[in-house]
A and B are shown apart, each in its own frame.
Chain A
């Protein structure tokens, strides 16, 4: 495994401008971090330090206000995710970059197996194989089989979180962004998730993860980046 960074974030800042109130809301300020293949960089800091904004800026759900997000892609050298064309970002989301958000957003009415298999379908994997692989992962994460054919709308917080995680991991992206992947899990389930994340690391997935518990950081992180609440917020 090489030591070349997969992602280098340089001086990333994100502010929001609310037109109606003519107000600037600072979110992340001057963030620098690096993610390597097969390693996990943990993002820590108090609420309001802009940790989620960093992940969302990397995924382009937010438009970064300044800074560079240099990503080494599988196909085409290094690109700045803040400036890449929309179609390129969509392609990276499909093929290389996964995001496990804090809350599960799914298409309503979609069955759990299909929710989890969706990243595979997008890569052209057929329904049968996609569902088989989704089932494997859901079993590993201890989601009862009776729930697999049901949409996750009625699931508990912890179940939803694991469905979200399964969807993020299934296609083994090169870079995985994780926003508090174990926040609402009990100790035993957390252990399962930790084991799964370790295995993905060994397979070479580079990860950037937000954690709130020092214990989890100790167990999983290779590097730690601490953010503080930006001045003026």
Chain B
């Protein structure tokens, strides 16, 4: 088993930050707002390893810092402190020390992201096929016919009607938009995929199909994934290991079946007991 990502001490603070931020926030203070400077400690001291083909779940309620974690790793945000090492085939890359061009290159070629909100992941002013073409162009596929063929293939794979590939994704249903996002994210066959609340707000039947699709992709392409969700069902279905977060901290981690059947922390016990 090979490691693909190693995250150490990842922290994120919104606001000026002060020396007391980390020692006066967190689960034991029941807040992530620093009482001294008013900054929000969105994430503090996140550590984990991810292996090739593995799905790691990050679970927690709104404001627990779970989305912040993947946004930092996908370069949507610059973290306050910490390090992340990406094992890219034979090379190792320190994510937060890369220059903007290197970061863009990783985002375009090696990472994929699917957001809860499709308009963050898709350009609504160009067609579904165009969205995928855009990503392929950025990774140097230049031949028009090849691009169109590949876009068609990807949309078919994610069960988007290929007759609709020239339509604008803003006219699509929520489930269909997520499929286009997944197709776009997969266009470059990235070894690492971030999924941020991808099924939240969708109909149950649509959720089920999207989750099936994600599992199929994982077994076909051996893609490593970080799945951020507040939904225990999603965690149970997808993740082998799970981190539970609250007030920006990991309060419990373990094998997913252990987290769900023998939760240790009071908060996790409460979450599991509240599941429908």
On A, residues with C-beta under 8 Å from B are: 16-20, 56, 60-63, 86-87, 89-91, 107-109, 121
Contacts and interface: CB of A to CB of B under 8 A. Distances in A.
B237 A60 contact: no
Nearest to B266: A19
A63 B219 contact: no
Interface of B: 1, 49, 51, 208, 212, 215, 219, 237, 240-241, 254-255, 257-258, 261-262, 264-266, 269-270, 273
A61 B258 contact: yes
Given A60-B255, A62-B261, A86-B254, A108 B208 contact: yes
Nearest to B264: A63
A20 B261 contact: no
B219 to A, nearest CB: 7
A107 B215 contact: yes
B78 to A, nearest CB: 30
Given A62-B261, A90-B241, A18 B269 contact: yes
Given A61-B258, A61-B262, A90-B240, A20 B269 contact: yes
Contacts of A109: 208, 212
Contacts of B257: 61
B237 A107 contact: yes
A63 B51 contact: no
A110 to B, nearest CB: 9
Nearest to A64: B262
A63 B258 contact: yes
A27 B245 CA distance: 28
Contact of A87 (B51, B212, B215): B51
Contacts of B208: 108-109
Contacts of B49: 87
A121 B219 CA distance: 9
Given A63-B264, A89-B255, A20 B270 contact: yes
Contacts of B261: 56, 61-62
A117 B42 CA distance: 43
Given A107-B237, A109-B208, A20 B258 contact: no
B258 A62 contact: yes
Contacts of B241: 86, 90
B3 to A, nearest CB: 9
B266 A86 contact: no
Contacts of B240: 90
Contacts of A89: 255
Contact of B255 (A16, A17, A61, A108): A61
Contacts of A90: 240-241, 255
Nearest to B219: A121
Given A20-B273, A87-B49, A90-B241, 17 more contacts: A17-B264, A18-B269, A19-B266, A19-B269, A56-B262, A61-B257, A61-B258, A63-B254, A63-B262, A87-B1, A87-B51, A90-B255, A107-B215, A107-B237, A108-B208, A109-B208, A121-B219
B178 to A, nearest CB: 18
Contacts of A63: 254, 258, 262, 264
A120 to B, nearest CB: 12
A14 B219 CA distance: 35
A19 B264 CA distance: 9
B269 A62 contact: no
14 contacts: A19-B270, A20-B269, A61-B255, A61-B262, A62-B261, A63-B262, A86-B241, A87-B49, A90-B241, A90-B255, A107-B215, A108-B208, A109-B212, A121-B219
